[in-house]
Amino acid sequence: MPKDVVNGKSNRFEYLCFTFYMTTGNKSSSKQSRAEHALVNYFLQEQERYVSFKQLKKKFSSRFHKDDLYKSVQSLLESGFLQQRGSQFRHLTGSVRSETISDASNLLEGIIEITSAGHGYVVSPDSEQDIWVNRDSLNTAFDGDKVRIALMKRSRKKPEGRVVEILARARDTFIGTLEPIGGRLFFIPDQKNAAVDFIIPQDKAGEGKKGEKVVVRLTSWEKGTANPYGEVIRVLGKVGANETEMQSILLENGFRLEFPDDVMRETDSYPDLIPEEEALLRKDFRKVLTFTIDPEDAKDFDDAISFREVKKGLYEVGVHIADVTHYVKPESALDKEALLRATSVYLVDRCVPMLHEKLSNGICSLSPGTDKLCFSAVFEMDDEGQVESEWFGKTIIHSGRRYSYEDAQEVLDGKADDFSDALLKLNLIAKQLRDQRFKNGAINFETIEVKFRLDEHANPIDVFVKERKDAHLLIEDFMLLANRKVAEFVGKRKGKEIPFVYRVHDLPDDEKLNNFSEFAQLFGYKLNFSTPKHTAHSFNKMMEKIKGKPEQYMLETLAIRTMAKAIYTTKNIGHYGLSFEYYTHFTSPIRRYPDMMSHRILEQVLRSDKVSDHQLETKCNHCSEMERSAADAERTSVKLKQVAFMDQRIGEVFNGFISGVAEWGIFVITEGSYCEGLVRMDSIRSDFFVYDQKKHCAKGMRTGKKFQLGDKVQVKLLKTNLAKRMIDFLLVETHE
């Protein structure tokens, strides 16, 4: 008998009546009858909670076919046992929902965020608190839509409302799979916060077939109806296939797969060679020792370094950046497309560039052995890293050598070549710059970065952790110097403030710091967050101590999440993490649009032109959003390849450590490959384990045994799911 019947929270007579109806009055097939029995039992336990058909399929997939489940839901709707609101179903036992406040002054507008459970939260500038929206009050709203809501009379501490109007859709295309249910074709979205299936009319299915991943455009969703209607506009392919999943990741995060025709035509019009008259207008560095240092597989080279000794103890260091804005003019087709994309995206097996390959890998790329146009920051520096003078302007360079990070590191480790003296001296100066930064309160966040070796079919054959050595840090330190000095040059000018693109990083939230401090204490780390400088010192000290320990990956990840997110804005508040008063992004215009904006403004300042702030902040906000989307896409592609790597190792046993604990299970990350999977709580046979939220552990009710964050464990790989990017483990239990 359902638990709520036993507890007296439901009408026992009602339950018996419907049980009788199921066993005697139902004329459907025996399979459907059993499905209806199960659904009645389930909904009586749910205590009026709305549930989508997608959730029902997931729960009952091992017991009933989806067609029988669909017919059962329709039968229960007709019988009156189930009530339908939008795409959700529930059993109503007589409670009355809150009434809507009718006063027009209580109508608010905002952006709705929908959780994986199907409820919504509206963020409105007219409300200090987020407004909660029950799933039955969404009124066809999708995650991210701009909506108008009416506040409701409610005893809740937090305000509650219902959606009364969709003002603007955040998106009209969705990605998911096609599935026939009950004689109709449905589209099941991949997004966890889109718990509604679309109906696809047969004449709108295109070439999409059952089980394929497709892109669907929303065509209509009438108020009061359960499902929206859509049409297939693109077939991505077989679920789980590499190309299908990678394209899905890009599209889901708002990135285009191809360049429009007008961009292609404009790109083709650019000449490959530099006119001599353009070279004469620029400072000539072609005879100065110049080189690039980039990843082994890099194709676009944004930056180069030049070096020469001015006199004993004084050196000229040039940071030369591809002059993208010489080619990409404001409001051109290329510029509009670059702004729309805002950033290049680096998935495991590909780069989706912001600029077309003819520019990013060709004309603009600072490849060796050819003359290239640059926008440069040139510094005269001493052995201590002190800048004696600086110069910014347009240049022409000729890179004499292309180093990979590994090649450059060999030189720094003692291998002799023609550039040895320059590299060694630059490395010493870079270390001075680094030391100065940390003394000033910068935070040394070095996260573990997982990399893959792929075969010719993009299948992962090895997983390893990327090492950051002096060659990486050398380039990073000089890029930081150029970015900082450009921002200071514009930001510190006397007179009227100049509109500019700053890269800012706010102080961390006190509550998040306190939560992290409590968490770190579980591992014996005491942190002092009394002042911003103490906070930076404590983080750096902890980062040193955790190197090589099981908790390293977890604490590094959580520490970064504790920090505020760095963003682009015209309002300078400094960069807390780097301890810079002024900072911008100037050094990667091939792959970041904010750098192109910085180049244009710096050029106007150098020419004493008036700088307009037309839509600059709006563009900054867009670039910040797309940067987050790119990071999400990159993380998802790593997860996909980790699942693919483990897919070939079903049944193998791995050493790992616990990275998370929840009510439903224990998350474990494997040593070496850093693949994270779930040990379901009910799969642990040695005891009945429950989640202790305060201590972040799972505790055995009989034995008292604990599984805590950071604990070393052994797990056996049970199964993988490429489509859902999930790994399931079994705990290898030892018994005394």
Identify whether residues 575 and 654 lie together within a single domain: no
Q: How far apart are CA 594 and CA 588, in angstroms?
A: 9
Among 633, 704, 703, 694, residue whose Cα is nearest residue 661:
694
Look at residue 69 and tell me if it is in a domain.
yes
Q: Nearest to residue 171, comparing CAs of 241, 131, 228?
A: 228
Are residues 201 and 279 located together in one domain of the fold? Answer: no
Residue 601 domain-assigned?
yes
Host domain of residue 675: 649-731
Domain count, the chain: 6
Q: How many helices (H) and strands (E) does the chain have?
A: 19, 34
Same domain, 610 and 663: no
Residues 365 and 476 in one domain: yes
What local confidence, expressed as pLDDT, does residue 443 receive? 95
- Residue 60 within a domain: yes
Residues 465 and 350 in one domain: yes
Is residue 97 assigned to a domain? no
Same domain membership, residue 358 and residue 225: no
CATH code of the domain containing 137: 2.40.50.690
Question: Could you tell me the pTM of the whole model?
Answer: 0.84
What percentage of the chain reaches a pLDDT higher than 70?
A: 91
Summarised one tens digit per residue, pLDDT across range 551-590 is 888 899 899 999 999 999 999 999 999 999 999 999 999 9
- Please check whether residues 178 and 201 belong to one and the same domain: yes
Last residue in a domain, options 136, 168, 200: 168
pLDDT (0 to 100) of residue 25 = 44
> 312 falls in which pLDDT band (50, 70, 90)?
very high
The larger pLDDT score, comparing residue 236 to residue 58, is at: 236
- 147 inside domain: yes
Within this chain, do residues 322 and 452 fall inside the same structural domain, yes or no? yes
3-state SS assignment for residue 74: helix
Which pLDDT band holds residue 308 (cuts at 50, 70, 90)? very high
Are 544 and 577 in the same domain? no
pLDDT of residue 28: 45
| Mean pLDDT taken over the chain | 89
- Asked whether residue 640 is assigned to any structural domain, the reply reads no
Query: Given 44, 60, 90, which residue is the final one in a domain?
Result: 90
Structure tokens at 436: 């100065």
Q: Are residues 689 and 583 in the same domain?
A: no
Do 159 and 300 belong to one domain?
no
In a domain, 196, yes or no: yes
Over 60: is that where the pLDDT of 155 sits? no
- Kindly state whether residues 41 and 145 are assigned to the same domain: no
Kindly state whether residue 639 falls inside one of the protein's structural domains. Answer: no
Q: Which of 143-152, 189-198, 316-325, 675-684 has the highest mean pLDDT?
A: 316-325
Which among 90, 122, 146 is the end of a domain?
Answer: 90
Q: Residue 1 to residues 41, 139, 394: CA-CA distances in angstroms?
A: 8, 34, 79
Residue 410 has pLDDT above 60, yes or no: yes
Q: Which residues contact 530 (CB under 8 A, 6 or more apart)?
A: none
Distance CA 356, CA 82 (A): 54
What is the rounded average pLDDT of the residues 475-485? 98
**CA dist., res. 35 & res. 74, Å (int):** 12
DSSP structural state of residue 23: I
